[in-house]
Amino acid sequence: MGTQPNRNDPESGQAHVLELDPELPPPAVDDAVREAEERRWTPGKIALWAVVSLLGAVAWFMVALVRGETVNAVWFVFAAVCTYLIGYRFYSRVIERYLLKPDDRRATPAEYKADGKDYVRTDRNVLFGHHFAAIAGAGPLVGPIIAAQMGYLPGTIWIIIGVVLAGAVQDYLVMFFSMRRGGRSLGQMAREELGVIGGTAALVATLLIMIIIVAILALVVVNALGESPWGVFSVGMTIPIALFMGVYLRFIRPGKVMEVSIIGFVLLMAAIIGGGMVAGTPWGASFFHLDKTTIAWGIIVYGFIAAILPVWLLLAPRDYLSTFMKIGVIVMLAVAIIVVRPEITVPAFSEFAGRENGPVFSGALFPFLFVTIACGALSGFHALISSGTTPKLVEKERQTRFIGYGGMLMESFVAIMALVAAISIDRGIYFAMNAPIALTGGTVETAAQWVNSLGLSGVNLAPADLAQTAQNVGEPSIVSRSGGAPTLAVGLAHIMQQFIGGTAMMAFWYHFAIMFEALFILTAVDAGTRVARFMLQDSIGNFIPKFKEASWRPGAWLCTAIMVGAWGAVLLMGVTDPLGGINTLFPLFGIANQLLAAIALAVCMAIAAKQGSFKFLWIVGVPLAFAAVVTITASFHKIFSPVPAVGYFANNAAFAKALADGKTSFGTAKTEAAMEAVVRNTMVQGVLSVVFVVLSIIVIITAILATLKAFRDGGGRNHEDAPRPSRVFAPSGLFPTAAERELAAAWAKVPAAKRLDRPGHH
C-alpha cells in the first residue's frame, strides 16, 4: 500500500501524494475493505435495523397520531433514539461518503502539530464526552420548555428532525473543515472563504450575537433567582467554592482535577442543603431575598470581575464543576425518565399553536417555534466550539462523524428530556409559572383566575395547587417564574421525587436543578464575555495595534467593560421590561443563535463548493435555506409586524402615541416611566434585529456569490493545510469494526519506538 494519491489541488492542478512509511502498517483501513464491510448486510444487521425502524415507527405513531387521554413519556425517548440511530447510521454516512470524504491516511492537526498541550491526540470516546460537555449547557434545557406553550408535538418534531438534517450536519461540517485547516476558528474561515466584506460582516454579527446570547442566558438566571432566598444563597456559594478550588489546584495540589472536583461537588451539595436552612431562618429569608434588578446588577458586576480575573482562579475550577455536574445530571435525568415513565397529559397542539399572542413567548408557530428551540435542534453557537478546540484533539479524520454529528445528537436527546420534564407537570401550573407578572398578577389567586380564564381544555387550576407546589419546592411563590429554568426544576423535582426521596426531597431536587442551570449559564457568561472581549480587542487592534496585546491591562479592561456593558444593558432592559423580558427577548436569542447557524452553514457551503462537490451541495443547502428563511422571516415579523405583541416598532409606535396622548398607563405598563422604558427597549430591540438580519444577509449573499463563482470555475481555492502522512491508527466509531480490530492488532505489534509520532514543527 505504499503511496496514495490525494484529491487534486484545484489551484496548482498537482496531485498531492502522501508518502506513507512502508515500515508501518497502513494508518487507515483499505478503502475497498471498508466499503465492502459497510455495504455487507448480514441477517443480524438487517434484523437489528428492522427492529430499530419498527420501534421508531411505533413510537412516532404513539407520540404523533394516537390521541388518547395521555401518552407515556417513554415513547418520546424511543422516537428520539431510533430516529437518531437511523440518522447517524444512514444520513451522516451519506455526508461522510459523498461530501466530506475523510481520509485516515492524512494526519490530523493533533498528530502533525502535536505539542502535548493544545494539539493532543485524544481517544475518540473521551473526546466525544469532552466535546459534548463543551456544546451542551442550559440552552437545550430552556428552549424546549418555553416552546411547550404550543403543545408537545411541534417542538418534538423540530428537535428530532431538525437535529438530524440541520444541527448535527452543521456541527459535523464545521468540525471537519476546521480540522482540515489546523483548527482554525469560524471567523478565520469566513474571512478566507468569503473575502473581506463577508468575513467582516460575519465577525461583527458573531460579536453582536454573542452579546445577545450572554444577556439572555443571564436573564434566565436572574428570573430563576429573583425573590428566591434559597436559590440566591446556594448559587452565590458557588463563587467561594470555585475560588477555593482554584487556589487548591494552583497551590495545594496542582493537577488533582478529579480530587478537587469531588470536593467541590460535596461542597455544592452542602450549599444546596444549607440554602434550605438559611432560607428557613427569618434573617436568611430577608437577607437573601433580592429583587430581580439587584440580582441583575450583581451578575453584571460579577461578570466584569470574573472576566478580568485570571482563568485559574474562577473560570477553570467552575468549568470543572460544571462538567462534573453536567454528565451526572444528564445521566440521572435519563435514568429517572426511563424508570418513572411519566404520563403526559398535555395536548399535542395547544390552543396557542394557532395564535401569535401566547403568554410565554409571542409570535406564530412558524417561524417562532423554530427559533425558540435553537439549542437541541440547530445551534449556531456550536460552530464556535466545533471550530477551535475539538478539531485540535481529533485523532483520525473519520472520527469527526462520531464526535461532531454524534455529539450533537446527544445534545438533542437532552432537549427531548427537558421537554418531557416540562410537559410532565400540570398545564395550569406551567402557564401560571411562565406568563409575565403583568398577566398573572403575581399572587396565587390572580394567577389561578387568569389561567382558568384562558379556556384551556382540561385545565382547572386552584390557588391551593400553586401554593402547594411552591411549598413543596421550598419557594415563597412559583407564580411568574418565567425563563424556563424554574419550570424545568419543578418538572425534574416532580420526576425525581418519584424515583428518590418522595415529596420531602422535592425542594432539594428543585434547587439542585436551579443550581446546575445557574452553574452552566454562569460558566457560559464568563467564557462568552472573555471570547467576545478578545474578538473586540482583535478588531480594534487592526486600527490601534496595542489592543492586540492580550497582556496590556488597560486594553483588556476597557474591552471587557464594553462587552459587559453591552450585555448588561440588554439584561437590565429584559429585567425591567413591563412586558416581561423573556416573552419579548427570548425570540431575539433564538434568532441570534440561528443567524449564527446560517452564517456557519453559508461558510460551509462556500467551502464545499470550492471543493467541487456540487452534486451533494444540497446537504448544506437545505439546512441553510431553512435557517435563513426561518430567521429572516422571524426578523421581518419582529421588524415589520403591525401587531404590537410581535413587532418591536409597532409596539414602540403604540407606546409613543400613548405617551404623546398624555396617557399615564398603557397596556401592561402602569406608569409613565414604564411606558418610556417600553419605548426605549423596543427601539433598541428593533434596531438590533435590523442590524443582525442585515449582517447575516450580507454573509449569506457573499457565500452564494462564492458558491456561484466556484460553480462557474468548477472549484475554487483550497485553504486546507497541506496533507501529511499519518503514522497512527484508531477506529472511527464507538465500536471498532472487524477490519479495524485487525488493523489495530497489527499496530499493537509495532515497537513503541517506531510508532511514535514525529511532529514537524520542533
Partner 1 sequence: MEPLTEPVAETLRRGLRGFAAYFRGVMGADAYRKYLEHHEACGHPVAPMTEKQFWRDRMDRQDSDPQGRCC
Enumerate binding residues for partner 1 (CB under 8 A).
114-118, 120, 122-123, 125-126, 129-130, 133-139, 213, 217, 249-250, 254-258, 261, 310-312, 315-316, 319-320, 322-324, 327, 375, 379, 381-382, 384-385, 388-389, 521, 523-524, 526-528, 530-531, 534, 550-551, 593, 756-759, 762
- Smallest gap from Cβ 633 to partner 1, in A, equals 23
State the DSSP string of 295-328: HHHHHHHHHHHHHHS-TTTTHHHHHHHHHHHHHH
Residue with smaller CB distance to partner 1, 375 or 698: 375
- Smallest gap from Cβ 315 to partner 1, in A, equals 8
- 613 in Cβ contact with 99 (< 8 Å): yes
- Report the distance separating Cα 514 and Cα 496, nearest Å: 14
* Class of residue 316 by CB neighbours under 10 A (exposed 0-12, middle 13-18, buried 19+): middle
Residue with smaller CB distance to partner 1, 153 or 384: 384
Residue with smaller CB distance to partner 1, 1 or 258: 258
- Smallest gap from Cβ 124 to partner 1, in A, equals 11
- Report the distance separating Cα 751 and Cα 747, nearest Å: 9
- Report the distance separating Cα 168 and Cα 401, nearest Å: 9
- Smallest gap from Cβ 529 to partner 1, in A, equals 9
- Report the distance separating Cα 514 and Cα 637, nearest Å: 33
- Smallest gap from Cβ 590 to partner 1, in A, equals 11
- Smallest gap from Cβ 737 to partner 1, in A, equals 21
- Smallest gap from Cβ 203 to partner 1, in A, equals 15
Q: 3-class DSSP state for residue 147?
A: helix
Measured in Å, how far apart are the chain's first and last C-alpha atoms? 29
* Class of residue 442 by CB neighbours under 10 A (exposed 0-12, middle 13-18, buried 19+): middle
Residue with smaller CB distance to partner 1, 379 or 652: 379
Q: 3-class DSSP state for residue 103?
A: coil
- Smallest gap from Cβ 691 to partner 1, in A, equals 21
- Smallest gap from Cβ 557 to partner 1, in A, equals 13
- 144 in Cβ contact with 424 (< 8 Å): no
- Smallest gap from Cβ 528 to partner 1, in A, equals 7
Please count the CA atoms within 13 angstroms of the CA of 395 that sit on its side-chain side: 20
Cα distances (angstroms) measured from residue 496 to each of 154, 477, 488, 510: 26, 21, 12, 9
Residue with smaller CB distance to partner 1, 447 or 728: 728
C-alpha cell at position 335: 435514568
- Grid cell 462557474 in the structure block, residue: 712
How far is C-alpha 686 from the chain's CA centre?
Answer: 24
- 678 in Cβ contact with 657 (< 8 Å): no
State the DSSP string of 220-237: HHHHHHTT-HHHHHHHHH
Q: Which residues contact 691 (CB under 8 A, 6 or more apart)?
A: 208
Could you tell me which residues are beta bridge partners of residue 3? 19
- Smallest gap from Cβ 405 to partner 1, in A, equals 16
- 260 in Cβ contact with 248 (< 8 Å): yes
How far is C-alpha 506 from the chain's CA centre?
Answer: 27
H-run or E-run covering 343: strand 343-344
Residue with smaller CB distance to partner 1, 482 or 593: 593
How far is C-alpha 594 from the chain's CA centre?
Answer: 11
- Smallest gap from Cβ 411 to partner 1, in A, equals 9
Residue with smaller CB distance to partner 1, 322 or 685: 322
- Smallest gap from Cβ 130 to partner 1, in A, equals 5
- Report the distance separating Cα 138 and Cα 559, nearest Å: 26
Residue with smaller CB distance to partner 1, 315 or 688: 315
Residue with smaller CB distance to partner 1, 75 or 128: 128
- Report the distance separating Cα 742 and Cα 755, nearest Å: 17
Residue with smaller CB distance to partner 1, 432 or 603: 603
